[in-house]
Amino acid sequence: MTDEPLTIAEAHRDPLNQMWSALRGWWVNIVIKDIDQLAVVKKIKDESGLTPRYIFMTCMSAGIAILGLILSSPAVVIGAMLLSPLMGPILGAGFALATGDALWLKESAKALAAGTIFAILFCAVIVLLSPLQTVTSEIAARTRPNLFDLAVALFSALAGSYAMIRGREGTIVGVAIATALMPPLAVVGFGLATANWTVFGGSLLLFVTNLMTIALSAAVMARLYGFRTSLSATQSMMQNLFILISFIALAVPLAFSLKQIAWEANASRQINGAVKDQFDDKARISQMDINYDADPISVTASVLTPEFEADAANKSSKILTRTLGYPIAVTIDQFRVGTGAGEADAAQLAAAKAQQQAIADERKIAQLGERLALIAGVRSQDVLIDRSSKRAVVKAKPLTGASLATYYELEKRVSALEPGWTLLIEPPALDLPDIAMQGAAPSEAGQRALALVIWAAVRVDAPIGLNGDAKDVDAALALLQEKNIRAVKRTSIPRRSGAVSVRWLAPDEVVAANESSLSPRQ
């Protein structure tokens, strides 16, 4: 047998094959040899099932998350991430997918679906009961997922899967914070409760991105570490293709979102520079708000300057429209300040305090509307609020067991809580009380009844009829007409001795009544 020289291709291929075989042998015999696959699978299965504890912890985590988001408190939101048990069924779904365990996959999917629904509904209920329903910075940050969010979820999922496989459970704490599964789910509940479908859709996409990335990455790690599978070679190939297509399907829209965010960041720098260029070096931009969703794009800036620039807004708009290629509408509020840095800082501080006060006032008004709506049994949208005159009016629904006196007392109590505001509750036209008379004047109880009648007549804005002894009716009628209440004496036949009966008049009774007995309403 003669030794023939190797061809160039064979000479190059042989070392590569040897290197690959050595690397594969090291991976199989050294890296994954000591992994107890049964123990790992049992551990993940125990944490991926649907249990009462899982539902309870999911709801508690969701409640903490939504409160932290509404209060715009990152520390509270992080606490919710640490409590969230959603990572368990997601990792379970990934490992079940890799091992071909259909029953495990079904159980994990059931737990994940139940946890998701409970979390969304629980958050929605909290938001509906909350007087604060403003989109905070923490909420807004979870409504525009991008490719970076996919990368964070991918790296976190690989780390989490590795920690579970290698028995490094402590790492899961950091993974829970990085993936942030619960906050976007809480924002979904916020969007549902407030019917804000932009917030709802954006946060739902972020949650689905994290969920899919974690599950698919867990499946890849399980396959990489050689977990036993019942899938055939063809099924494994189809599964690999499915994972690849899923990642691409997630990456494409997120890449477009990242591109838009990058464009907006660059546009914000150019807008800031264009506005600042209209003023001298001593001017300072105190605040700038940009609405990229408006058409044209809206820019509102507050500038502290020692000298006013009459055409600054128009010049900025033309420059930015030409530079960015989109129509830009610029509004600039100029505030004259001295040339000293101290004066500019003081003016900026005053503007910031005014803005904070405006936010606080709006929050107070929202709370006031919620309180009145709760008392009246209506929606907060049904409360009419006049901010300029500090006046709020609500038409109450009939409440079981409530009388006119109930609404009267509720109005007094809520008014006492809001000094400086005029709060009016318009009650339903319930039965009016009789006015007890003593001599030619109401008794002590009759005075209370008279006050209630006057209050109800003003709120309902309807005429009333009086019935009783002629002298009693005349006395009561005079007192009502002093308050400009439309009242009619119906008859001189008393219904009860020492009392004037009062009732609402129907439209046909008003027409039939003696018009001269009506006191015109001012």
| DSSP of 125-185 | HHHHH-S-----HHHHTTS---HHHHHHHHHHHHHHHHHHHHT-TTHHHHHHHHH--HHHH
Q: How far is CA 1 from CA 4, 67, 349, in A?
A: 9, 82, 95
Number of domains making up the chain? 4
The answer to the question of residue 499 being in a domain is yes
User: Same domain, yes or no, for 114 and 156?
Assistant: yes
Both structure tokens of 27: 């991976």
DSSP states of 216-252 as a string? HHHHHHHHHTT------HHHHHHHHHHHHHHHHHHHH
CATH of residue 318: 3.30.70
What are 272-303's pLDDT values in tens digits? Answer: 888 888 888 888 887 888 888 777 888 888 88
Residue in the structure block whose two tokens are 């504890």: 53
Same domain, residue pair 116 and 175: yes
User: What is the pTM for the complete model shown?
Assistant: 0.56
Residues 472 and 513 occupy one common structural domain: yes
Is residue 218 domain-shared with residue 317, that is, in the same domain? no
For the stretch 340-361, pLDDT in tens is 555 555 555 556 566 666 666 7
- 321 and 460 belong to one structural domain: no
Residues 343 and 358 in one domain: no
Given 353, 381, 402, the domain boundary residue is 353
CATH number for the domain that contains residue 155? 1.20.1080
pLDDT tens digits for 41-87?
Answer: 888 888 888 999 999 999 999 999 999 999 888 888 888 888 888 88
Contacts (Cβ under 8 Å, ≥6 apart) of 489: 465, 466, 473, 474, 477, 517
Which domain range does residue 98 map to?
28-230
From 402, 426, 450, the end of a domain falls on: 426
Structural contact between residues 149 and 209, judged by C-beta atoms closer than 8 angstroms: yes
Residue 394: phi and psi, rounded to 5, are -140, 140
Any idea what DSSP says for residue 28? I
The pLDDT score that the predictor gives to residue 380 is 77
Q: Which of 107, 98, 100 is nearest to 243 (CA)?
A: 98
In whole angstroms, give the CA distance from residue 300 to residue 40: 57
Cβ-based neighbour number of residue 431 at 10 Å: 11
Domain boundary among 353, 380, 408: 353
Phi, psi of 278 (to 5 degrees): -80, -10
